[in-house]
Chain A
């Protein structure tokens, strides 16, 4: 039972991470910085509960605000570029964050000896849940109510004017700009909100695992973050949840009986999903072939001119 509770916690945390990438992908930008914001949230919230003795809700809120602030600060320069350049710029940012935490050492005297981040050894002893008597069910309830809250907010945002602006920018930047949409505002706001959600999920991550270190936050994590919404399909929030359950639940845990072969199948299945449904799993009703297959069979010239702007 504990195993399944732990799995459900992991799925919840990764759903939040996927949702943070969903915000940014919605404006048509591919950002690998989500792992960096996740790390900032994880370290900030962990340090606040362990070293400053704050209660968890405040630590989570501040961790997520710090991540959002960093996201906005990074977003202004980074979002001047797009496409591959943005992928590389955000990769660089995520690597900087990881390496800063690799070198980050700040130990203070706690009740049972020194606590705090210890450079390459990581940051252990984030035992807020354990020392405050939370059961696994309580933690699970907290995580999934936050997931539900974030999804509600995003659902509302998507239907509000902001969501319309984000989608307009994502569909065609030139058209959006000529209609008077402020591209910078749309992109930076999506980046900031995505950063806040990533910081929140990072805070939950550090408190559920109790030990974090720089190797938790590699480019691979950021790749997973954008993989969830892309695999699930950007049209719906449920697609992201479905993709997280598919990857974390089915591919990573469900295939354990295959032993080592599981991880081989993992990459192959991502390739297969993209081949069968290039727009994501929930991009069109399941009984229809994906809409983009029809797009693919259009005259090739039309495809090329569009690919130009990609």
Chain B
């Protein structure tokens, strides 16, 4: 391997890490919901892409930043909707029931998208597409950098929300001890619903970021995003937000690394094999939640 190859390799890994912020955000969404309810919301990535699709309504009338904001807000609305349809009225002691209802919701959202757009991919506005920064032998694409920065802002925002607001306090309390939280007079239902809204806000942002980084939206994005989000959640450790961030960037980088080394057809085999090895040898993930829960 000569020097130019090495530069290309590092370049593509860096691009992957920047795109990995979208995986990190989806992973955080899964992990937040799991932390609070101990349930998987399989329709989460589909709702995220759906929110990005819905924000396309504004694309003709509003500037691009407003479209992204709309995607985030619509993601929150969809999150609340999913909580009330798929979780609120189902018995929570049956894990299979909510698993199935969210699968139904995943299929429903995907079909609504296909139906509304006739299955055609839709262009999604990006920012700073032309801009390129040169850093030594590497170049940093403006649109990817923007996605990366937006992802970091969303993560810092989440961190502040969780540690500095009453809502964040409530979320963490319910995640740690639902019974004790109720004894203190908190409404677990309302906290659960607001966690879905927070996760939805992140998901909508992630959907918009995916659209901006790829340049288009397609219903084919939902399943890979769901799988990647779950992978990130598990590698990072269930219920751990920092773990999801690290794992998201890691998966993004490794994906491009394997793509560079082995080609696009085989890239996911190695990512999945790595995940499998992780589960077998370190089932708790990188940052397992403290305490002997689960």
Judge whether B276 is part of the interface by a CB distance below 8 angstroms. Answer: yes
- Decide yes or no: A87 and B101 within 8 Å by CB, A218-B223, A278-B90, A307-B38 being known contacts: no
Question: Judging by beta carbons under 8 Å apart, are A267 and B91 in contact?
Answer: no
A231 partner residues in chain B, CB cutoff 8 A: 100
B61 at the interface (CB under 8 A from A): no
C-alpha gap A267/B293 in the complex (Å) = 33
- B215 in the interface (beta carbon within 8 A): no
Judge if A270 is at the interface, Cβ distance under 8 Å. Answer: yes
Interface segment, one of A47-55, A76-84, A135-143, A202-210: A76-84
Q: Which residue of A lies closest to B98 (CB)?
A: A274
Q: Is the interface of B mostly helix, strand, loop or mixed?
A: helix
- B92/A275 in contact, CB under 8 A: no
CA distance A95 to B114 in the complex (A): 23
B window 115-144: CB within 8 A of A: 115
Query: Taking A30-B99, A83-B294, A231-B100 as contacts, is the C-beta distance between A275 and B90 under 8 angstroms?
Result: yes
Residues of B within 8 A of A92 (CB): 231, 272-273, 275-276, 279
- B58 at interface by CB-CB < 8 Å: no
Name the CB-closest residue of B to A308: B38
- For residue A266, CB closer than 8 A to chain B, the reply is yes
Task: Give the chain A neighbours of B233 by CB distance below 8 A.
Answer: 84, 88
The A interface is mostly helix, strand or loop, or mixed, namely helix
Cα(A269)–Cα(B101), bound, Å: 9
Q: Is the CB of A271 within 8 A of B38?
A: no
Q: For residue B34, which residue of chain A has the nearest CB?
A: A84
Range of interface residues on B (Cβ < 8 Å): 35 or more
Q: Which residues of A contact B96 (CB under 8 A)?
A: 25, 30, 230
The yes or no answer to A246 lying at the interface (CB within 8 A) is no
Are B266 and A91 in contact, CB atoms less than 8 angstroms apart?
A: no
- The reply to whether A278 and B276 contact each other, CB–CB distance below 8 Å, is no
Query: In the bound complex, do residue B275 and residue A88 qualify as a contact, i.e. CB atoms below 8 Å apart?
Result: yes
What is the distance, in angstroms, from B53's C-beta to the closest C-beta of chain A? 15
Digit string of A292-310 for contact with B (CB within 8 Å is 1, else 0)? 1101100011011111111
- A223: Cβ under 8 A from any B Cβ: yes
Contact-residue size bin, chain A (C-beta under 8 Å from the other chain): 35 or more
How far does the Cβ of A213 sit from chain B's closest Cβ, in whole Å?
Answer: 13
Residues of B contacting A102 with CB < 8 Å? 265
1/0 contact string of B81-94 vs chain A (CB within 8 Å): 00001100111111
CB of B152 closer than 8 Å to a CB of A: no
Taken residue by residue from 50 to 94, chain B's Cβ proximity to chain A (1 for < 8 Å, 0 otherwise) reads as 000000000000000000000000000000000001100111111
* Residues of B close to A95: CB separation below 8 A: 227, 268-269, 272
A185 within 8 A of B: no
CA distance A304 to B37 in the complex (A): 9
Q: Which residues of A contact B230 (CB under 8 A)?
A: 84, 87-88, 91
Interchain Cβ contacts under 8 Å between A and B, 26 examples: A80-B279, A84-B40, A89-B275, A89-B279, A91-B227, A91-B230, A95-B269, A219-B223, A220-B223, A230-B97, A230-B99, A230-B100, A260-B115, A261-B115, A263-B107, A267-B110, A270-B101, A271-B85, A271-B104, A271-B105, A274-B97, A275-B89, A279-B97, A308-B293, A308-B294, A310-B38
Residues of A at under 8 Å CB distance from B? 25, 30, 77-78, 80-81, 83-85, 87-89, 91-93, 95-96, 99-100, 102-103, 120, 218-220, 223, 227, 230-231, 260-261, 263-264, 266-271, 274-275, 278-279, 292-293, 295-296, 300-301, 303-310
Beyond A308-B38, A309-B294, 13 additional pairs, beta carbon < 8 A: A84-B34, A84-B40, A85-B238, A89-B234, A89-B279, A92-B273, A96-B273, A103-B266, A120-B265, A266-B111, A292-B94, A296-B92, A306-B93
